[in-house]
Structure 1
Amino acid sequence: MNKLIIQKKIQFNCFLFMLSVFMASCVSNKKIAYFQDIQTINKAKLDSAVIFTEPIIQTDDILSISIFTLNPQSGAVVNQAASAPLLGGNSATTSVQQQSTGFLVDKNGEVELALIGKIKVAGLTTYQARELVREKVSIFFKEPTVQLRFANFKVSVLGEVNAPSTYTLPNEKVSILDALSLAGDLTIYGRRENVLIVRDNEGKKEFARLDLNSSNIFNSPFYYLRQNDVVYVEPNKRKVSASNSAQIQTIGVIASVISVIVLAISNFK
């Protein structure tokens, strides 16, 4: 009789162990697929999707400015200041800090170019700043060509993604989907319906929540990211359940081992 009871206990412990494993592996597809309502949206809604606007240059940004003239040596004099390394952001594949080269926008919103002097660029788009620099350079050089872009356009992606890091990008047109792609997409435990965006707008923090399960994301002013935006993906309840399941599995294994030992001792007697 005692042996039968012990065997039933062992079977029950094994059942609990298999049940905990099964529950931890169960994931609803309804919370994984992106843009689940994409089949039902109409053309009018698509046409109203947010339009990309160029980001605004702010203080402490680093700009890559290259000036080309008919005399290459003359342009080299202006560009040489950009060859000095400045502490910038991180590459698109690592979170280790590295050095960036470019012209730092100082606290007055100005960059200083050799021979040209200080030019106020804060508050301008890169296109507006490029035209302003071209205008200033034209005083000294004939028919100059100016290239200007962000050298430290970076976004940080944190939380339940496969590769959390800070990413420095060569392109200033970056969407939330681009950033998540760089970070290797969300893990199975990421909350797709509540992705947080933290934005620094002239010293003030702005917050937004985006639902990746809905096509409404395309209408959000936070769909396109700005430099220094932070994307945070919260863990869902399954993350907590998975942690608890690991503990339950451990307890189940220990209980099973103990039951087997007890049964062996009973048989020996």
Structure 2
Amino acid sequence: MRGIQLLGLLGVLLSSCVPSKKVNLFQDIAEVDAFPQDSVLSQYANLPEPLTLTEGDIISVKVGSLTPSEYDFVKEYTERLGVFGQLIERQRTIQIGGGGQQGGGAGSPSENPQFQQLFGFQLGNGGVIELPYIGEIPLEGKTLTEASGIIRDSLRSQFKSPIVRVEFLSFDFSIVGEIARPGRYTTYTTELTVMDALLMAGSFTEFSDRERVKLVRTRNGEQEVYYLNLLDESILGSANYYLQPGDMLVVQQLNAKATRLYALPNTSFLIGLVSSGLTLWLLIDRLRE
């Protein structure tokens, strides 16, 4: 009878364990010992999709030129009529939704991003911005580099040798599921990897399923769903290893969590109930003899 109890308890304990193959990230099929020390084991090309601008995006426009700064109408216009208030509200929303973690991780330009680069322009209908003396500048579908060139060319009549830098201010993403700090986050980098995003959210828990991380992406008005296997190092060469604005990561939980939470607390009770039933049955069987 004691042997049956021990076997039952052992089975439940084993089912609640998480093997290292379910936890170790970026695993390689080949044995590491087969490679010389300090050698390059693998190489993967970085393949992020170029970020393109669309209606509703918020960008900062910074102009450097030989024109005296007091004549920099772009800066003055940005500070007076830009979307400062909207960006402040965005930060408050993200701070609440992200558990107070509003982009202080990968790509953040300072330790306090809440008050960094809050002056910007929101692309209006058709993805255009409007500048004084210049008028509307269409930027729909343009990369940041292309947008910088278009604005620079538009400013040549007003600035001497202008240099324009356009930065993206509305890169938001969400992480839900079996993660330390689920919520909505923002960053100021345009090349954000899945691991960067996970680290901003406190990374995985003990029971996170690293083999099937769901990526939900909106493209052309449709929802696209991908599954990312972070146990396989070949994910480093995937275009989906880089996030796009508005992406959502859904981290599933391993079955071991349900076993640990629900099966183990009831194990002693169930084994005791079974053993009591067997004892009663044996006692009745002997009394019949």
What is the match of residue 72 of structure 1?
69
One-letter code aligned to 2:84: A
Deviation at 1:16, TM superposition (A): 9.6
One-letter code aligned to 2:174: S
Taking structure 2 as the reference length, the TM-score comes to 0.71
Deviation at 1:84, TM superposition (A): 2.8
Deviations 1:31-88 (A, max 9, x none): 1111221645999994553423421112211111222342212223333233632143
8 Å contact from structure 1 (residues 57, 125) kept in 2: yes
Deviations 1:201-253 (A, max 9, x none): 2222221111011122123220111111111111121122123136516957x
What is the match of residue 54 of structure 2?
58
Deviates more, 1:19-28 or 1:163-172: 19-28
Question: Does structure 1 residue 188 correspond to structure 2 residue 194?
Answer: no
Change in CA separation of 1:169 and 1:235 when aligned onto 2, cut-off 3 Å: same
**Among residues 84, 91, 116, which one is paired with 2:134 in the alignment?**
116
**Among residues 5, 21, 30, which one is paired with 2:21 in the alignment?**
30
What is the match of residue 90 of structure 2?
88
Aligned ranges 1:89-238 → 2 under 5 Å: 90=94, 94=100, 101-238=119-256
User: 5+ unaligned residues in a row in structure 2: which ranges?
Assistant: 103-113, 274-289
Q: After the TM superposition, which segments of 4 or more aligned residues of structure 1 sit over 3 Å from their partners?
A: 14-25, 38-50, 98-101, 249-252
Instruction: Name the SS of the counterpart of 2:225 in structure 1.
Output: strand
Change in CA separation of 1:74 and 1:30 when aligned onto 2, cut-off 3 Å: same
Instruction: Name the SS of the counterpart of 1:198 in structure 2.
Output: strand
Change in CA separation of 1:66 and 1:234 when aligned onto 2, cut-off 3 Å: same
Taking structure 1 as the reference length, the TM-score comes to 0.76
Q: 1:85 and 1:251 mapped to 2: Cα distance?
A: 59
Q: 2:9 and 2:267 mapped to 1: Cα distance?
A: 8
Deviates more, 1:101-110 or 1:68-77: 68-77
CA RMSD of aligned residues (A): 3.5
Change in CA separation of 1:141 and 1:74 when aligned onto 2, cut-off 3 Å: same
8 Å contact from structure 1 (residues 189, 236) kept in 2: yes
